[in-house]
Amino acid sequence: MQQEILRLTGGQELADIVYDADTIGRRVTELGSEIGDYYQTGELLLVGLLKGSFMFLSDLVRAIPRPLTLDFVAAASYGSGTKSSGQVRLLYDPATDVEGKHVLLVEDIVDSGRTLNWLVRMFQTRDPASLEVCSLLHKRIAEPLELEPRFLGFEAPELFLVGYGLDYAEQYRHLPFIASLKE
């Protein structure tokens, strides 16, 4: 089935499946347990980085065995290309007051690290009880990070990845797996 999807997608051609849906599902369940064990007291606020984290975040909140609240932030540094522009723009600022809460930023992928660093600095000024990062993927090519992810799904290859929320020019987010684009 997943190989059929690789052949049926239009536009940019997909190369290989890097993480299949079952592997992703198992790891997200494990991450939910790890997060539940780590945050045993206090108010927990998950802040999803839109748009890429939406599928991961949706599955993750259902896997965390404790009460939590949820909000979103939207920042952009890519546009429609495969390389970061280097400039971060805040498109949506969370409405939730983070002061005194345990804030967990939920990211789809740590790539250049620019957006994540910018957001970490922004949230640190808002006096959370704690601030941590959960990322589904980490390429390990980022500039020095202000805050390394405490919770990590997978190490990612140095390829342009799509699926499970990750996109190329707003395409391929719907795929239930993560695949690489053909060069």
Average pLDDT, the chain: 89
Query: Looking at the chain, how many residues does it have?
Result: 183
Q: What are phi and psi of 128, to 5 degrees?
A: -70, 160
CATH architecture of structural domain 15-181:
3-Layer(aba) Sandwich (3.40)
- Answer for the pair 171, 181: CB distance below 8 angstroms, yes or no: no
pTM above threshold 0.75: yes
Closest by CA to 44, choosing from 124, 94, 103, 114, is: 103
**Model confidence pLDDT, tens digit, residues 104-143:** 999 999 988 888 999 999 999 999 999 999 999 999 997 7
Please indicate whether residue 111 is annotated as part of the active site.
yes
The C-alpha atoms of residue 117 and residue 151 are separated, in whole angstroms, by 16
Q: Which of 59, 108, 111, 167 is catalytic?
A: 111
